[in-house]
């Protein structure tokens, strides 16, 4: 199989694919961008390694169960969204391979055979693979949220791209839930302009810009806590020398916010 690209996906809010009646056309652009990924990669990968913003551990944690359960890690949504099933299989052998790669890079990694799919994984991947027929392994963030260690994790996992594994960082390019409306417009647009410009830099400069992301305009207004940005570091690290392509961008998400997703390679 050809070398697969990696992705950083802005995954939207909550279980949005199951709330199209409530949200109307708000998610049409994101949905279209996700549904286009199989075309971009010319089919289905052997498996997906999903770096989720919704899981953190003292070490890097890797879901290793063969049949992961569901985690409804949201609140205030209609009852049917707590019965959603996305029954993609796990991939224990891939989980073990990912742990070995991380450990070889001196990055502590632990298997978790009980971890289920959180909404950062199932809401992002349902539009991509609606038949739930591609195995998925989740990778957590590491406590401390150090950009360099997450970039290093991506570098360590880059070999998976040659093995038919699609590496997907699932987060949001803007994630301030206290200002997820017009109040966040200025910050989201300022940070998004910086992020899009950073993605167009030569590889070494791009890496340094991402490591120094807190210096970006409105950085802490856009990400009071950076867990939704760090999946980008892993996706970038796994394709560090490759060009970035913007695969999703909106200027008025939820009426006012700028959000983006990127493909590397």
CATH number for the domain that contains residue 75: 3.40.830.10
Torsion angle, alpha carbons of 203, 258, 165, 141, to 10: 90
The alpha carbon of 141 is separated from its chain's Cα centroid by a whole number of angstroms, namely 11
Task: Map tokens 């055979």 to a residue.
Answer: 113
Beta strands 6-10 and 257-264, pairing class? antiparallel
The alpha carbon of 263 is separated from its chain's Cα centroid by a whole number of angstroms, namely 11
Q: Which of 263, 234, 229, 227 is CA-nearest to residue 248? A: 263
Cα separation, 133 vs 48, in Å, equals: 11
Query: How many folded domains does the chain comprise?
Result: 1
Mean pLDDT per 10-residue section of the chain, whose length is 265 residues: 92 94 91 98 97 98 98 96 98 98 98 98 98 98 97 98 98 95 96 98 98 98 98 98 98 95 98
Please say whether the beta carbons of 69 and 87 come within 8 A.
no
Backbone angles phi and psi of 139, in degrees to 5: -120, 130
Q: What pLDDT sits at residue 24?
A: 87
Evaluate whether residue 245 is within a structural domain.
yes
Q: What pLDDT sits at residue 1?
A: 59
Q: For residue 156, give both structure tokens.
A: 């360590």
Please say whether the beta carbons of 207 and 235 come within 8 A.
no
Evaluate whether residue 259 is within a structural domain.
yes
Evaluate whether residue 1 is within a structural domain.
no
Evaluate whether residue 143 is within a structural domain.
yes
Please say whether the beta carbons of 105 and 237 come within 8 A.
no
Q: Which of 57, 41, 5, 62 is CA-nearest to residue 235? A: 5
Evaluate whether residue 197 is within a structural domain.
yes
Q: Which domain holds residue 232?
A: 6-264
Evaluate whether residue 180 is within a structural domain.
yes
Evaluate whether residue 169 is within a structural domain.
yes
Q: For residue 242, give both structure tokens.
A: 């490759």
Q: What pLDDT sits at residue 2?
A: 83
Please say whether the beta carbons of 242 and 8 come within 8 A.
no
Q: Is 208 helix (H, G, I), strand (E, B) or coil?
A: helix
Q: What pLDDT sits at residue 19?
A: 96
Evaluate whether residue 230 is within a structural domain.
yes
């Amino acid at each position: 199989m050809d070398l697969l690209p990696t992705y950083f996906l802005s995954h939207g809010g909550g279980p949005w694919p199951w709330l199209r009646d409530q949200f109307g056309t708000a998610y049409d652009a994101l949905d279209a961008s996700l549904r286009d990924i199989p075309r971009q990669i010319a089919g289905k990968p052997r498996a997906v390694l999903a770096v989720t913003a919704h899981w953190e551990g003292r070490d890097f944690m890797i879901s290793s169960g063969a049949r992961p359960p569901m985690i409804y890690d949201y609140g205030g949504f209609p009852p049917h969204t707590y019965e959603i099933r996305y029954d993609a299989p796990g991939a224990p052998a891939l989980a073990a391979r990912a742990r070995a790669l991380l450990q070889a890079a001196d990055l502590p990694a632990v298997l978790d055979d009980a971890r289920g799919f959180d909404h950062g994984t199932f809401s992002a991947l349902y539009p991509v693979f609606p038949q739930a027929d591609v195995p998925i392994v989740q990778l957590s963030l590491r406590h401390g949220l150090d950009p360099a260690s997450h970039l290093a994790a991506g570098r360590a996992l880059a070999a998976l791209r040659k093995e038919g594994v699609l590496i997907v960082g699932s987060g949001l390019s803007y994630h301030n839930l206290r200002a997820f409306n017009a109040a966040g417009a200025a910050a989201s647009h300022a940070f998004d302009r910086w992020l899009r410009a950073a993605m167009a830099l030569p590889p070494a400069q791009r890496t340094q810009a991402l490591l120094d992301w807190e210096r970006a305009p409105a950085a802490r207004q856009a990400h009071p806590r950076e867990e939704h940005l760090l999946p980008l570091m892993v996706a970038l690290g796994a394709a560090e020398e490759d060009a970035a392509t913007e695969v999703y961008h909106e200027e008025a998400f939820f009426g006012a916010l700028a959000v983006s997703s990127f493909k590397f390679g």
